[in-house]
Amino acid sequence: MSTILFGFGDSVAATRRLGRALNVPALEVEVHRFPDGECLVRIPSTARTVLFYRSLNDPDHKIIELLFAASAARDGGAERVILIAPYFCYMRQDMAFRSGEAVSQKVIGSLVASHFDGLITVDPHLHRVASLNEVVRGITAISVSAAPLLATLIDDRDAPVIVGPDGESRQWIEAIAAPLALETLVASKRRLGDRHVGLAIAGADRVKGRRAIVVDDMISSGRTLVEAARLLHDAGCLSVEAVVTHCLAGPHDLAWMAASGIASIASSDSVDGSTNRAELAPLICRALRENELA
Ligand code: R5P
């Protein structure tokens, strides 16, 4: 067999979807957890090219399992081991904000580069670092844009305003709004704590009497989205919807966002959950093939 795709318990459905798109077998990595918290990882088969599919939300235990699985694939004779991580973790800590802090992005980048021959991810959160290749050095590292997929989630009836909650979101809102000829607004944001952000939206009065659709790479705690919604409602918008690549929020935070004025949240299936409205498999399949990784 030349190529095989593996997922884990948390990514079985998405792994199968990608397996069908690639027309390769999709199997599950076996993970046993011992009473002391350690894990035993087994891959039930191997191939020349082994692809591992796993989004790295809630990353700490997932990473160690992935490293064990990659090692098992190499021990089994794999010549290429590729990581497909639609959500790629620890990208926001790209510098030491206070002396003594670890630069998590750098550590994760070199860990992945030293255990995999290729990485495919979707809309990684790159801020002060311009490209994924600067984070994951020396291997093929591909960043796929979900913008074309997110554009399919925009209900553009009655010309809603597309809102980016911070400067980094400009790339997504422009890619989505331009083909649909929709107006955009970009907020400026200051993060004041894990669950505390300050936003300002210049020109917010343009949403008066209109729907606002906030587009972002990710929802984590939901604070950014709720603060944007508060300002947009204050400016007289009809409703606030959200369209994002990665929705990391759990049921509790999703319920809080709904109660805080968010009419709907639509995300890709990067992280399995109730907000999933669009599948990444076709985009990832194309990126794998174009880069000769599968
Ligand atoms: C960061 O700048 C990202 O683009 C998101 O806006 C942010 O991570 C969302 O986090 P939260 O949902 O916790 O406000």
Q: How far is ligand 1, taken at its centre, from the CA of residue 125, in Å?
A: 9
Task: Label residue 155 by pLDDT band (50, 70, 90).
Answer: very high
The tens digit of pLDDT for each residue in 143-152 reads 999 999 999 9
- The Cα–Cα gap between 63 and 269 comes to 20
Mean pLDDT over 206-234 rounds to 97
- The Cα–Cα gap between 197 and 189 comes to 7
Average predicted confidence (pLDDT) for the chain: 97
Closest atom, ligand 1, to C-alpha of 249:
12
Which residue, judged by its Cα, is nearest atom 5 of ligand 1?
A: 218
pLDDT of residue 233: 98
State which amino acid sits at residue 259: A
* Nearest one of 246, 287, 279, 219 to 87, comparing CA atoms: 246
Task: Label residue 211 by pLDDT band (50, 70, 90).
Answer: very high
Closest atom, ligand 1, to C-alpha of 195:
13
Which residue, judged by its Cα, is nearest atom 13 of ligand 1?
A: 221
pLDDT of residue 136: 98
Task: Label residue 25 by pLDDT band (50, 70, 90).
Answer: very high
**Which residue do the tokens 């790159």 mark?**
126
Share of the chain above pLDDT 70, in %: 100
CA separation, residue 59 to residues 50, 85, 155, 246 (Å): 21, 11, 33, 14
The tens digit of pLDDT for each residue in 34-50 reads 999 999 999 999 999 99
Closest atom, ligand 1, to C-alpha of 189:
2
The tens digit of pLDDT for each residue in 103-133 reads 999 999 999 999 999 999 999 999 899 899 9
The tens digit of pLDDT for each residue in 63-98 reads 999 999 999 999 999 999 999 999 999 999 999 999
- The Cα–Cα gap between 122 and 210 comes to 30
Mean pLDDT over 208-231 rounds to 97
- The Cα–Cα gap between 24 and 5 comes to 7
> Could you tell which of 218, 231, 243 is best to mutate to test the pocket of ligand 1, judged by most ligand atoms within 8 Å of the CB?
218
Q: Looking at the chain, how many residues does it have? A: 294
pLDDT of residue 64: 98
**Which residue do the tokens 């210049």 mark?**
202
Domains with residue ranges and CATH for the chain: 3-145+279-290 (3.40.50.2020), 148-269 (3.40.50.2020)
Q: How far is ligand 1, taken at its centre, from the CA of residue 49, in Å?
A: 35
With a cut of 80, say whether residue 29 has pLDDT above it. Answer: yes
Closest atom, ligand 1, to C-alpha of 92:
1
CA separation, residue 160 to residues 114, 177, 198, 242, 250 (Å): 45, 10, 24, 12, 27
Contacts of 268 (CB under 8 A, 6+ apart): 86, 122, 146, 149, 150, 244, 245, 246, 276, 277, 278, 279, 280
pLDDT of residue 271: 97
pLDDT of residue 179: 93
> Could you tell which of 186, 197, 219 is best to mutate to test the pocket of ligand 1, judged by most ligand atoms within 8 Å of the CB?
219
Mean pLDDT over 241-255 rounds to 97
pLDDT of residue 204: 96
CA separation, residue 101 to residues 96, 107, 190, 283 (Å): 5, 12, 20, 36
Q: How far is ligand 1, taken at its centre, from the CA of residue 219, in Å?
A: 6
208 is catalytic: no
With a cut of 90, say whether residue 1 has pLDDT above it. Answer: no
Q: How far is ligand 1, taken at its centre, from the CA of residue 225, in Å?
A: 8
Q: How far is ligand 1, taken at its centre, from the CA of residue 132, in Å?
A: 19
Residue 242 · residue 225 · CB < 8 Å:
yes
**Which amino acids bring their CB within 6 angstroms of ligand 1?**
125, 165-166, 168, 197, 216-224
pLDDT of residue 150: 97
